[in-house]
Amino acid sequence: MTLRSPIKHCRECGTAVVYRVPDDGDTKLRAVCPACGTVHYENPLNVVGTVPVLGDRVLLCLRNIEPRRGKWTLPAGFMELNETSAEGAARETDEEAGAQIEMGRLFSVVNVPRVGQVHFFYLATLQSDVFAPGFETIEARLFAEDEIPWDEIAFRTVKVTLEQYFADRRSGALGSGHVHSLDVV
């Protein structure tokens, strides 16, 4: 499965690249420049977000953009250059929900190899129940566990993170500091 458009030209000199296994002992097919020898590596994209909580309720955002417009999600998005994963998660929470939070610890790392992504979710404590969603969000709303619209969750990464959060809360494991490594295939 091709995840992104293949690299066509060298970022260093502009020559058309060829796909081959580099001569440096690498074992994967890479875009290699035949003129200057630059090897172009393609790596997963990082998605960062939060599990924002106020009391026993979790904040979800109703998406106003594709993919999955009209479905519920945790506030999250692609990490930007020059920010940490926690900074990106806080930024996305502000952009998508207009929520003021106190950032907590890393809660889950969800691997999504089929689309070349890794999702990082942090626990966050909401400072109020007043939200000012940005253009990417139709509505931001708090849900108790029994109110979560499970059939309307936008992404499997969000669903598995929410399921793990509620399981940890029920078992008393939320304070353990354990980071969950989850896979979505």
pLDDT at 28: 92
* 82/146 Cα distance (integer angstroms): 38
Peptide bond into 67 cis (omega under 30): yes
pLDDT bracket for residue 3 (50, 70, 90): low
Residue 146 three-state SS: helix
Q: Which two tokens stand for residue 63?
A: 């998406």
In the beta sheet, which residues pair with residue 98?
none
Q: Which two tokens stand for residue 11?
A: 């970022």
Hey, where are the domains in the chain? 1-42, 45-183
* 137/117 Cα distance (integer angstroms): 22
Lowest mean pLDDT across 75-89, 97-111, 126-140, 169-183: 169-183
Class of CATH domain 45-183: alpha beta
Q: What is the mean predicted confidence (pLDDT) over 42-71?
A: 97
Determine the topology of domain 1-42 in CATH.
Ubiquitin Ligase Nedd4; Chain: W; (2.20.70)
Would the pLDDT of 4 be above 70? no
Q: What is the mean predicted confidence (pLDDT) over 54-65?
A: 98
* 12/8 Cα distance (integer angstroms): 12
* 103/127 Cα distance (integer angstroms): 10
Residue 163's identity, in one-letter code, is E
pLDDT at 23: 86
